[in-house]
Every structure is written in structure tokens, then in C-alpha cells.
Amino acid sequence: MRIISGGQTGADRAALDVALATGLPHGGKVPRGRWSEDGPIPDRYTVEALESTSPEQRTERNVVESDATLVVTRGPPDNSEGTKLTCALAEQHGKPFLHIDLKTLNEDAAIGRVVNWLRLIRCNTLNVAGPRKSEDEYIYDATFGLLLAVLARAEVGPPPLREKREFTLKIYEQFCNNFRHWDQIRWTGSGVLMAFLGTSYAALLTAINDHPLVVRGSMAAISATSILWIWLLIRLIIYHNSNLKNLEKLVKTSHTDTEEAGALVAGLPFVFSFPKIFRTASFWFLLVFFGLAVLGFFGAFYFDWIKSLTSTAPKDPSVCYFGAT
């Protein structure tokens, strides 16, 4: 089977990268100058540039010159003008097309539907379309994973290619499962714990004059919990980077073709490195928990000073407050 697309970022680019990673022929029509929203389409993709700069003309040519069109979205196709046009053109030209909404279908259901559809229509040239990256930043990864799983299960191509695709899929799924697990801990765990500790700290400040020993101990617990969570986040970052590098090595050693290996690696999440980490949620989570740890420390070990800041009563001259002379 041959895979074609318009070469745009997002779903189109994911389809071409899957073709490179699995050794399938690929192509497609693209606007003049190999235009895409992130600049000229890289030369590693064997696509054909048209005389027209119109994305609409490229979209129509790909629909007409393929046996069928697969549209992958994470929501209604109307959210993307290009995707909406692709569906309309497939209907207009009487071409088979299948729309897969990954927000309404789980992973297994989506894979099964595409596999059964491909076996039914006996497609030789498949056009893949969907939103661009600026319309859905997660559509590339979603389309890449879906197509890899579909090709492995559909057993498209000769046995050597099938074996390579199955090995590729195992590597990709292993890392994606690990990354989803880590991402769930990072976002859900950090968000819930941050809200709980912040709310608890604010509540303790209101009770600082009523139950000083309880407040002091609770603030020490907030500081210790924050430090433990910082340690866990750092360990998760180290685990992510180590696992990613190991999988990249496996991909490169199992694929002698550098373009295939590069296309597969491009579908993996980024590595946490400087200065990129400063633009990630993990960095800001670490910063917030560091602040909670410091506040908890001051609340536990400089209790009288914190109490003086929150109290409206006159200060006791017999008590030495933090920072007083």
C-alpha cells in the first residue's frame, strides 16, 4: 500500500513519517514551493509540488488520485477548514473515505474500524488527512500511533515489512504507555497535591492563634510533603529521559535506513533538557512545590514570626521575632 498526504504539519506529516518508518512508498501533491505552515516541506518526503499555491487544489488532487481517504481528528471535522473540505471533496468525487474521531473512539475501536475498512475496500493508495498542528497540537502523535497500529494489525505488505512494523510498534507503544503513565502522575498528582497543600496552608494561617502546636506540626508536614514530591518529579524526569534515549538507540540499531529511524524518533515525545525544560509544566510544578516547601519550613521553624505577620494584636515586647532588632 502507498500512503499519500498534503505534507502539512499534523496528521498529514504523521502519515508520511509512518510510511518512512515502515518502508512503505509514499507521496502526495503539495502546494508550489512545498509550502506548509512551518516552512518548506523537508526534502526527505517524496512529494510533488503543484504549480498552484492553493492548498485547496492540493487537497482535491490527493483525494482524486487516491483509492480512499482516511480522515483522523480529535473532535468534529468542522473544527478544521482543510479537514472539512477533504470530507466534502471525497463525497463530491464518490471516493471512499472514513472519518475517525479519536475523542469518541477508544484506541482499540479506532484501530479495528480502520483495519476492517481497509480490508473491505482493498486500498492500494491511501490518502491521509486531518488537522494541522496549529489546529491541534496533539494530532501528530495520535495519527502516528494509530497508523502504526493499523499497519501492524492489517499486515500490509510483504513479510519483512510486516516484521519491521511489528517491532516498530512494540517500541513505540512501550514508550507511549510509559509516557502516558508519567504524564498522568505529573499533571493529576501535582495538581491535586498543589491545591490541597495550598488550601491547607491558607487554613492553617487562620488557625495560627488557636492551635499553635497543630499548626506548627502541619506546616512541617507541608514542607516535608513538598520536598518528597519534588524528589519524585525529578526522578520521573530522569526516568523519562533515560527511557527515551534507550528507545531511540533501539530504533536506530534496528533500522539501518536513517530516514526511517529519524521518522520514527520524530514521533516520540521530547527530552527534558536545558533550556527547554524551563518551558515545560514540570519546571513550574517544581517551582511551586519549592515555594510550598519554603513556606512550610518558615511556618514550622519561625512560627512566632509568621504568627506576628498574621496577628492583629499588638506585639509582645518580651518575644524576639524573626528579623527583629
State pLDDT tens for residues 135-182.
998 999 999 989 988 887 876 544 444 555 565 566 667 666 767 777
| In contact, 299 and 306? CB cutoff 8 Å | yes
Average pLDDT over residues 218-229: 91
- Per residue in 270-290, pLDDT (tens digit) is 667 677 778 788 888 889 999
* Residue located via cell numbers 484506541: 107
Question: pTM for this structure?
Answer: 0.54
Q: Which residues contact 231 (CB under 8 A, 6 or more apart)?
A: none
Q: What does the alpha-carbon distance between residue 220 and residue 71 come to, in Å, rounded to a whole number? A: 54
Cα gap 143→127, rounded to integer Å: 13
R_g of the chain, CA atoms, integer Å: 27
Question: What is the DSSP code string of 86-149?
Answer: HHHHHHHTT--EEEEETTTS-HHHHHHHHHHHHHHHT-SEEEEE---TTT-TTHHHHHHHHHHH
> Which pLDDT belongs to residue 244?
74
What per-residue confidence (pLDDT) applies to 159? 46
Tens-digit pLDDT profile for residues 249-272: 666 655 555 666 666 666 666 667
Across 58-77, average pLDDT: 93
pLDDT higher at 59 or 210:
59
Q: Which pLDDT belongs to residue 107? A: 85
> Which residues partner with 30 through β-bridges?
49
